[in-house]
Amino acid sequence: MERRSWRHTLLLGTLLCLPLTGRVASATETPTVSQQVQWATADTGVRLTLRFPQPDVEDIDGQRIYRIENEGLIGEAGSPDLPLVNRLVRIPDRSDVSLNILAEDWQPLDPVRVRPMQERLHTEADLPLSWLESPEIYGMDGWWPLQAVSISEPMILRDQRVIQLSVAPLRWNPANGALEELVTLDLSLDFHGQNPVNQITAPMPHSPLMAELVGDALISPPPAEGTLREIEWHTAERPLNYLVFTPGTALQNVRFQDWIDWKFRKGHHMTIVTDGDISWNSTAIRNTIISEYGGEYPPDYVTLVGDPDGGSYVTPTNGSQYDHAYAAIAGNDILADVVVGRISARS
């Protein structure tokens, strides 16, 4: 494969076959949250009915923690260790959203003491971790969390405007140990007026990669009649866009050249940027991603070649030990709009 200048663009053909096949349910699978969705006409709202399975329970020194398969956690260190169900819901490009609880069915469980969450980000220097227990929460007499159902401000997920619906399907009273589970929840999200937060004012090319990665985590209206419902991963008409940041010396590496050639033969569009093209710091890298994102070939993948803290090739990270800031580039939110990964160069 011909090597051009340090910055060059290759127009490629067919898609790489990715291991992104969906889950196949089986009779022995742990029950998961089920949902029924009914979209209103004229894009005015959506009605959701959620049904929650019984949580998994673990006893640790007489205290309990609760989990629901494939779902998240409230995630506040020192607070009761309870699950949280999150769903992204697509909303109109400019409208506001209101949440209305239509019906909720809470059922009592046996009284318990819920263990405070101890897991949190830390370094080896922080070990051993001290015990955390929120005196405000564990000293209260009432249901926690205070609000079981909430929605976020609008966010942008690549080419779609979304909100996050969060549901805490367990609530606990620290004063008497009472615990209740949410069996079913019926709610509506009503779209009305305008909300200036993270509006979509210009169309963005659809990314089949992001659509596949998000999958069932995004609740969206069915496609309009006559639109393409599925995109074949092997068609040359929809190549993925790669934006690769690499030290120029890495282009002399045979294995790296093989990787680029492999992508070439698989049919992707690739833009390669080296330390000879831009200042080699996190600000310049992020600004380049933003610029390319608004261009003709907005990246699906951003690939960083090298490690942020030394090694054969060094490519800096963005403000922390993680590269997520390189992914969240559209809108004022934390949602990733591109997929970011690194090719480590440590030997």
pLDDT tens per residue, range 263-274 = 878 888 889 999
pLDDT in tens, 248-261: 999 999 988 898 88
**Under a CB-based contact definition with an 8 Å cutoff, are residues 316 and 325 in contact?**
no
Mean pLDDT of 62-88: 94
At 226 the pLDDT is 46
Number of neighbouring beta carbons within 10 Å of residue 99: 13
How far apart are the C-alpha atoms of 212 and 216, rounded to whole Å?
9
At 9 the pLDDT is 37
Mean pLDDT of 312-327: 86
pLDDT category, 30, cuts 50, 70, 90?
Answer: low
Question: What's the whole-number average pLDDT of the chain?
Answer: 86
pLDDT in tens, 125-158: 888 889 999 999 999 999 999 999 999 999 999 9
Q: Is the pTM of this model over 0.85?
A: no
How far apart are the C-alpha atoms of 303 and 271, rounded to whole Å?
10
Q: For residue 168, is pLDDT > 90?
A: yes
Q: For residue 233, is pLDDT > 60?
A: no
Mean pLDDT of 105-129: 90
pLDDT in tens, 194-229: 999 999 998 888 888 888 888 777 999 987 654 444
Instruction: Catalogue all structural domains in the chain, each as residue range(s) with its CATH number.
Output: 8-18+233-343 (3.40.50.10390), 34-208 (2.60.40.3800)
Start-to-end CA distance of the chain, whole Å, equals 26
- Selection from 156-160, 184-188, 311-315 with the highest mean pLDDT: 184-188
Mean pLDDT of 66-76: 92
Q: For residue 119, is pLDDT > 70?
A: yes
Q: For residue 173, is pLDDT > 90?
A: yes
Strands 45-51, 301-305: pairing kind: unpaired
Three-state SS annotation for the chain: CCCCCCCEEECCCCCCCCCCCCCCCCCCCCCCCEEEEEECHHHCEEEEEEECCCCEEEEECCEEEEECCCCEECCCCCCECCEEEEEEEECCCCCEEEEEEEEEEEEEECCCCECECCCCCCCHHHCCCCCCCCHHHHCCCCCECCCCEEECCCEEECCEEEEEEEECCEEECCCCCCEEEEEEEEEEEEEECCCCCCCCCCCCCCCHHHHHHHHHHEECCCCCCCCCCCCCCCCCCCCCEEEEEECHHHHHCHHHHHHHHHHHHHCCEEEEEECCCCCCCHHHHHHHHHHHHCCCCCCCEEEEECECCCCCCECCCCCCCCCHHHCCCCCCCCCCCCEEEEECCCC
At 236 the pLDDT is 40
**Under a CB-based contact definition with an 8 Å cutoff, are residues 303 and 244 in contact?**
yes
Of residues 297 and 167, the one with the higher pLDDT is 167
At 206 the pLDDT is 80
Six token digits for residue 265:
């033969």
Q: For residue 11, is pLDDT > 60?
A: no
